[in-house]
Structure 1
Amino acid sequence: MPIERITADDLRDMEHQEGLVLQGCGGEAQEWLDGINDLLTQDGILQNGNRFETVKVFQHDGLTNLLFPFEDIQVDMGKLAMWRLQTHGAFGGTWLSDYVPNRLGEFRSVRQENPRPLCPLLGQDGNIFHLMGIAARVLRQNGMAAEAKEMQTRIMGGACHSYEEALGIISEYVETELSPPRENRTKKKEKHEHER
């Protein structure tokens, strides 16, 4: 299937893959697939008659974006890197490995390897913005600036509808008195993965 619709969150499971992400691609995805194949062939970037057979379409920050995966394709990476830089103003091109940490937080496996840092909140001012600020500072101090930004975006981006939800999101990123015991979290995650 040449056009595959995915969610932006699906990209976080693609740590061991690479591809070209183009941002702000309105219109028909098939036209983009054909057009990019023609452009990259004409510029000598796609080699030996190779063409992208599929493109993954996803939405993020109100934009329609395309991922051209580098699976089973011969590409002159040096030329593609130059093309990406020269056309960045038109296409917002970036690598998948840069897009995820810069736009979506981290790849899921990276998050699982990094245990949540300890962040006691008991006795603190209960204002949710104050608590979020404390948690963000703890994350940044532990080299997890991307997670701090992701946490704040999730809380303030409209997906969070109550004080309790916000506290729940904070406790996903840092270990607080509100966090469920580790064995409960593992079971919950496994259950959630099977429900997808």
Structure 2
Amino acid sequence: MSIKTIQAEQLRQMEGKEGLILQGCGGSLDEWIDGVNEMFTENGILLEGTKFEHCSTFEHDGLTCLLFPFEDVRLDVGKLAMWRLQTHNQFGGTWLSDYVPNRLGGFSSDECPAQKEKTDCPLIGADGNIFNLMGIASRTLRDNDMAQEAKEMCERIRESGNYHQALNIIGEYVNITATADMNEDLDEGITM
């Protein structure tokens, strides 16, 4: 399971996607996700042994919120809709497609201003051991004042259990470049 911290504004870039947002999630977010997975499995909302693995958390209007995306789960949407209506006062549950227009002013195709531009990271040509690549990417993030992102990236890579998925995760955090590109940049900066 992974929990990605995002800015509320980033939800505006998720047009065409759907998920459940719970508002006012205090305490351990891991416990919230485990509890929702267990409750939805027992109530026949989550089907075929699927569960929410990749959730996001964000702050809005002083509340900690959780987004449970529907992309990688099989759901009985009718049962989920009934659960959401019956528990709305308790959990503040709403659909992503309702939350964004009603709380954030609608979806936007413009690039989210809260997103930082990715830092170049010389991985092409480096030793391909995933722990080596993770270390280089993590160091690059920390060197660019992104220690929280480095920690989050490493946690997600360790949980992925798949080399190609791990590479994709690294690519979400840094702009993967060749080691030769970095050497050329350094050489261009030296004048005699």
TM-score of the superposed pair, with normalisation by structure 1: 0.56
Please give the alpha-carbon distance, in whole angstroms, between the structure 2 residues aligned to 1:41 and 1:18: 19
Query: Aligned to 1:57, what secondary structure does the other structure show?
Result: strand
- Which structure shows the bigger proportion of residues in strand conformation? 2
Query: Aligned to 1:64, what secondary structure does the other structure show?
Result: strand
Please give the alpha-carbon distance, in whole angstroms, between the structure 2 residues aligned to 1:190 and 1:98: 19
Contact between 2:37 and 2:52, CA under 8 Å: does it hold in 1?
A: yes
Q: Does 1:54 align with 2:54?
A: yes
Please give the alpha-carbon distance, in whole angstroms, between the structure 2 residues aligned to 1:34 and 1:28: 10
Counterpart residue type for residue 45 of structure 1:
I
Q: Which residue of 2 aligns with 1:185?
A: none
Counterparts in 2 of 1:29 and 1:191: CA distance versus 1, 3 Å: closer
Counterpart residue type for residue 15 of structure 1:
E
Cα distance, 1:193 vs structure 2 = 7.6
What whole-Å deviation, never above 9, does each CA across 1:51-83 have from its counterpart, x for those lacking one? 101210000000000000001210000000000
Contact between 1:33 and 1:54, CA under 8 Å: does it hold in 2?
A: no
What whole-Å deviation, never above 9, does each CA across 1:14-59 have from its counterpart, x for those lacking one? 0011000000001111111100000101110000111101210000
Please give the alpha-carbon distance, in whole angstroms, between the structure 2 residues aligned to 1:12 and 1:21: 14
Q: Aligned Cα RMSD in Å?
A: 2.3
Counterparts in 2 of 1:195 and 1:77: CA distance versus 1, 3 Å: same
Contact between 1:18 and 1:97, CA under 8 Å: does it hold in 2?
A: yes
Please give the alpha-carbon distance, in whole angstroms, between the structure 2 residues aligned to 1:190 and 1:30: 27
Q: Which residue of 2 aligns with 1:103?
A: 103
Aligned length: 118
Query: Aligned to 1:31, what secondary structure does the other structure show?
Result: helix
Cα distance, 1:192 vs structure 2 = 9.5
Q: Which residue of 2 aligns with 1:30?
A: 30
Q: Which residue of 2 aligns with 1:78?
A: 78
Q: Which residue of 2 aligns with 1:65?
A: 65
Counterparts in 2 of 1:190 and 1:27: CA distance versus 1, 3 Å: closer
Residue segments in structure 2 that go unaligned for 5+ positions in a row: 119-192
Please give the alpha-carbon distance, in whole angstroms, between the structure 1 residues aligned to 2:114 and 2:96: 25
Residue segments in structure 1 that go unaligned for 5+ positions in a row: 113-188
Counterparts in 2 of 1:192 and 1:53: CA distance versus 1, 3 Å: closer
Using CA pairs under 8 Å that are at least 6 residues apart, name the structure with larger relative contact order, 1 or 2: 2
Q: Does 1:44 align with 2:44?
A: yes
> Which runs of 4 or more aligned residues in structure 1 lie more than 3 Å from their structure 2 counterparts after TM superposition?
189-196
Contact between 1:24 and 1:64, CA under 8 Å: does it hold in 2?
A: yes
Contact between 2:20 and 2:96, CA under 8 Å: does it hold in 1?
A: yes
What whole-Å deviation, never above 9, does each CA across 1:72-102 have from its counterpart, x for those lacking one? 2100000000000001011000000000000
Q: Sequence identity, in percent?
A: 61
Please give the alpha-carbon distance, in whole angstroms, between the structure 2 residues aligned to 1:22 and 1:73: 17
Please give the alpha-carbon distance, in whole angstroms, between the structure 2 residues aligned to 1:77 and 1:24: 23
